[in-house]
Structure 1
Amino acid sequence: MNMTTKEDLRKALKLYFIMGSNNCQARPQEVLEEAIKGGITIFQFREKGTGALKDRKKQELAEELQFICQKHDVPFIVDDDVDLALILGADGVHIGQDDEPVEAVRSKIGDKIIGVSAYTFEEAEQAVRGGADYIGAGPIFPTQSKEDAKKAQGTQMIKKMRNNGIQIPIVGIGGINLENAAGVIAAGADGISVISAIASAENVTLAAETLRNQIRYYSFGIARFFRFS
């Protein structure tokens, strides 16, 4: 899938679902299908942590989930594993601060999407200079989904990024759910990324649909405010 403009990418990042096999209460394939029915706009395969699949089994699951995304025209992103992304021909890669530099990843994957996790404004600024397509800012709120998550810092970092010239798309990550999603968008994020809010939900489709509607409603409210104020 080719994101031809920055605006195309902003739209795709509205409801960013991240998942691996160890995040699911049901089969990952079923969870992804249900999440797509609910309206997720992009998917990241993140197979990490306790009980995560390795090697061939990891690749086989990635292939199955990628096929589901392709069937529904949902961008498929691989977390960290650039080699796997290249093997699959994924739509992009998401990297953290401890992974390869953005420039090195860009040289390998060409014009595919690159997202970079940033905990500080300086990290976001460096990612932009390196050629990142979007920033994953966080953790915004406390999260149990990532075993190595840093201390949550609220939405102020998103505001700081926006107020200091970060113009590429920003996605909030970490502990985001229906109760706090609106505040993330209000701070200046283009979208939210979630793991457990969808993957651990009793009704995955309903959880995704409710989050999508919340984002749509709040984004529409912001647009109307700026249009008529």
Structure 2
Amino acid sequence: MNSDFVRLSARRPIICLVTDRRRLSPGAVLDRQLNDLIALVVAAVKAGIEIVQVRERDLSRRKLNSLVARCVEASGDSGTRVVVNDGADVALATGAAGVHLREDSIASERVRTLGGHNWLLSRALHDPSKVPGKSSTLDYMLFGTVFPTVSKGVGCPLGGLGGLREATKRAHVPVLAIGGVTESRLEDLWRAGAAGIAGIGLFIESAQLHFDWAVGLTGLVRRVRRSFDTV
């Protein structure tokens, strides 16, 4: 396990922004979408968000490499880590902090051999019965979809708070809640055992409430931490 992340995870909640350039800038041309996404990452860094997960699966490898490299550059020497969805090769090429794996992706042990102990490794989890054992090389997991969300559409199976609660009881690493996360649901997620949150819409909406996106995200981060600290 990444020793830096052990220290990070001790400071709950862990906050993870997942990217979606189309939801951020619907209808814009690709270059504008990518530039806007970088602006959001810059705002996330200023707000102190711990993890930015680049989830732009339809981009060519060349475009994705360029995007992730720009995100890594934007994070600088801050505490924000940039990870890539199922892209160990991209993470290696760009100096990203690690990789997020789909539930049905390759074993984390294989990915760990590529990136070493310094990489952050996470995996999506939809079924609490599939929580990896103690020997897993994962640093954290994202459980969902907890609540309905436009990212998954109608008919997407929901894990619900019960599933989240079971996953957090079984897991040996921090579990972040993802899917339909809103500020009004933070207390429920905390009580179900979530170590933090991950999401798309919550961050985009909060950022775009302000002309300066960093102001919007800073306010959100403050409210999330307050909710988890005081419940």
TM-score for the superposition, normalised by structure 1: 0.83
Which one-letter code corresponds to 1:67 in the other structure? E
The structure-2 alpha-carbon separation of the partners of 1:141 and 1:44, relative to structure 1 and needing over 3 Å to count, comes to same
Preserved contact between residue 134 and residue 168 of structure 1 (Cα < 8 Å):
yes
1:93 and 2:99 matched: yes
Count of aligned positions? 216
Query: What secondary structure sits across from 2:99 in the alignment?
Result: strand
1:191-206, aligned counterparts within 5 Å? 191-201=196-206, 202-203=208-209, 204-206=213-215
Aligned to 1:4: 4
The more displaced of 73-82 and 5-14 is: 5-14
Q: Please, which of 156, 159, 162 is the counterpart of residue 156 of structure 1?
A: 162
Distance 1:89 1:12 in 2: 26
Distance 2:185 2:215 in 1: 17
Distance 2:145 2:124 in 1: 9
The structure-2 alpha-carbon separation of the partners of 1:5 and 1:15, relative to structure 1 and needing over 3 Å to count, comes to closer
Query: What secondary structure sits across from 2:16 in the alignment?
Result: strand
Q: Please, which of 126, 130, 149 is the counterpart of residue 119 of structure 1?
A: 126
Deviation digits for residues 87-143 of structure 1, max 9, x if unmatched?
Answer: 1122111101221112211222211111011112222235x5332111111111112
The structure-2 alpha-carbon separation of the partners of 1:39 and 1:19, relative to structure 1 and needing over 3 Å to count, comes to same
The more displaced of 87-96 and 138-147 is: 138-147
1:78 and 2:87 matched: no
Preserved contact between residue 22 and residue 47 of structure 1 (Cα < 8 Å):
no
Aligned to 2:47: 38
- The alpha-carbon deviation at position 180 of structure 1 amounts to 1.4
1:68 and 2:68 matched: no
Distance 1:83 1:140 in 2: 30
Distance 2:215 2:69 in 1: 26
Aligned to 2:190: 185
Query: What secondary structure sits across from 2:183 in the alignment?
Result: coil
Aligned to 2:22: 22
TM-score for the superposition, normalised by structure 2: 0.82
The more displaced of 18-27 and 177-186 is: 18-27
Distance 1:86 1:188 in 2: 33
- The alpha-carbon deviation at position 28 of structure 1 amounts to 0.9
The more displaced of 20-29 and 166-175 is: 20-29
Q: Percent identity?
A: 23
Structure 1: 5+ residue stretches without partners: 223-229
Aligned to 1:225: none
RMSD across aligned C-alpha pairs, in angstroms?
2.4
1:59 and 2:68 matched: no
Q: After the TM superposition, which parts of structure 1 deviate over 6 Å for at least 4 consecutive aligned residues?
A: none
